[in-house]
Amino acid sequence: MKKLTNIIFLTLLMSACSRFLDVNPKGEVFDGDMFTSAEGVEDALYGVYSELASTESLWGAYLHWIPEACSQNVLCPGDYKMGNMAAADWLSSGPVSVRKELWGSAYKAINHLNNIIAHCDDETVRQFRHFGLYKGEALALRALIHFELVNLFAAPDWADASEKEKAIPYVKRYTFDITPYSSLDGVYEAIIADLSESERLLAEDKDLIQAQRTNLGNTFTDVRITHMNLYAVKALLARLYWTRGQLETAARYAQEVIDSQKFSFRPKSAFVQPDNGTLDLRETIFGFYSRSGTGSYQTYNCNKYRLSGTSSSSSFSLAADWQSLYTGVSASQNDYRLAAWFSAGDETLIKLVNPVFYADGASSYAGNSILGCNVFRIPEMYYIMAEYYLETDNNRAVQYYDAVITTRGGDSLAEDGVTLTYDMLFRERRREFYGEGFTWHEMRRRQMDITTFSGVVLPGNQPATYTIPIPDEEDNARKNNAK
């Protein structure tokens, strides 16, 4: 049996999730008795974290996989789900089912969070020592899910005003009633309001999160990088404002995360002996803990991303330029990421799943991190700062850029006297976040054309290229409700 050094924390989380499932066997309603003790509230939150991490249609697979396929970072022409989504064929049977599953799972989780948030207004819950953490995390998770949805299912910021009038519903109440659509601006305003309140409530994290971390813990306040913590809230605000092109505000939040000195870059040794499929104890700001070695997480992030030779993965491959991305223009010949995150022999991505799940017992979990999938890592904050200074102070932009690439084996632009360009920064972000679902969102923001695996060019300046249609069932239900 493979050794897991963070066994105390894992046992805590799994037992909490079990209690959550015992109380809510159908995952639809939280028993009010859960909120009569701090342990019960914590169990409810642990249950939602588990739901978000393990559900295939959320961070268990789709929220990484869909953007990677649509950006053409991975090619899947023979897959009826992702292959058709990558071609923007939203109406064929595969994408129809994917859209429905993602939408339904997301709003189901939002409803669970709204139940927790509603109970956080109970006088009993407000007396619990870590009340601020409970409500702050729930609000931040609600904002995070809506943020993912609005960037998939709503028109981009640069679309015409008429196309942005109907974005997605922002659901703030625990209800099974139909919530009206909000405009794009309305959704972002609601996200920012939730995150602003979360910042206030999560102030305790300034002391709870230390620069030197371990993966051991036995209380809710331990291992905070597996919780939607204060700095994850700031990172999400930075990403939100970056997405909207408001770089000054994005940079303010990114700099706050950097200045906290809570997060640092992994050393070369972590690339020489990579702990893939984990939350790094230095770099990760927030990620979902997951021990999934079978089922959907393995199917999408191992058997298909890794192309392990199973018949179901035969139609999946990496983009044609995956290797030159790390060795070509504006890349170093010594980039540690190439050998650490890819298997050159069979041209596969091995970044997202730990070897304990695919090495037939040949490898053990090293225990220097936490099994799971990342949502925010510190390099993103440095890239935002580099982009902010790109036009006004290139030397300063280079400082932030160099801070990342020199820890990845790259050559310092400052030492070589090289001017940083946006194209270089785009390529670097693609290198760093390959497999994590980031590239498509940046392409969307920049209105970049997409050339599909079949050679068809999807125009980047047309909102439809970057807007996944809302499931028909959602619109039909609203029409029926209006009658």
Cα separation of 231 and 199, whole Å?
Answer: 9
Cα separation of 272 and 278, whole Å?
Answer: 15
pLDDT at 60: 85
DSSP tally for the chain: helices H, then strands E: 21, 9
pLDDT digits (tens, 9 = 90+) for 101-133: 999 999 999 999 999 999 999 999 889 999 999
Residue 292: pLDDT band (50, 70, 90) is low
Distances (CA, A) of 366 to 274, 275, 355, 408, 444: 9, 7, 10, 21, 37
Residue 466: pLDDT band (50, 70, 90) is very high
Residue 231: pLDDT band (50, 70, 90) is very high
Asked whether the beta carbons of 170 and 187 are under 8 A apart, the reply is yes
Least confident of 225-234, 364-373, 397-406, 465-474: 364-373
Asked whether the beta carbons of 318 and 274 are under 8 A apart, the reply is no
Lookup: tokens for 173 = 């109440």
State the residue for tokens 């923001």: 445
Is this prediction's pTM over 0.85? yes
Cα separation of 315 and 216, whole Å?
Answer: 40
Residue 394: pLDDT band (50, 70, 90) is very high
Residue 274: pLDDT band (50, 70, 90) is confident
Q: Which has the closest alpha carbon to 115: 64, 50, 43?
A: 43
Please give the backbone phi and psi of residue 171, each rounded to the nearest 5 degrees, phi first: -95, 120
pLDDT at 482: 57
Q: What is the DSSP letter of 155?
A: -
Distances (CA, A) of 129 to 42, 75, 114, 153, 210: 12, 49, 21, 38, 20
Domains defined for the chain, CATH in brackets = 7-482 (1.25.40.390)
pLDDT at 333: 62
Distances (CA, A) of 300 to 77, 83, 162: 15, 13, 37
Lookup: tokens for 388 = 């902010």
Coil/strand/helix, residue 168: coil
Q: Is the pLDDT of residue 483 over 90?
A: no
Cα separation of 45 and 138, whole Å?
Answer: 7
Please give the backbone phi and psi of residue 462, each rounded to the nearest 5 degrees, phi first: -105, 120
pLDDT at 65: 87
pLDDT digits (tens, 9 = 90+) for 423-434: 999 999 999 999
Cα separation of 328 and 321, whole Å?
Answer: 9
Asked whether the beta carbons of 327 and 316 are under 8 A apart, the reply is no
State the residue for tokens 């974005």: 167
Residue 45 CA from chain centroid, whole number: 18
Asked whether the beta carbons of 243 and 236 are under 8 A apart, the reply is no
Length of the chain: 483
Q: What angle do CA 177, 178, 182 make, to 5 degrees?
A: 135
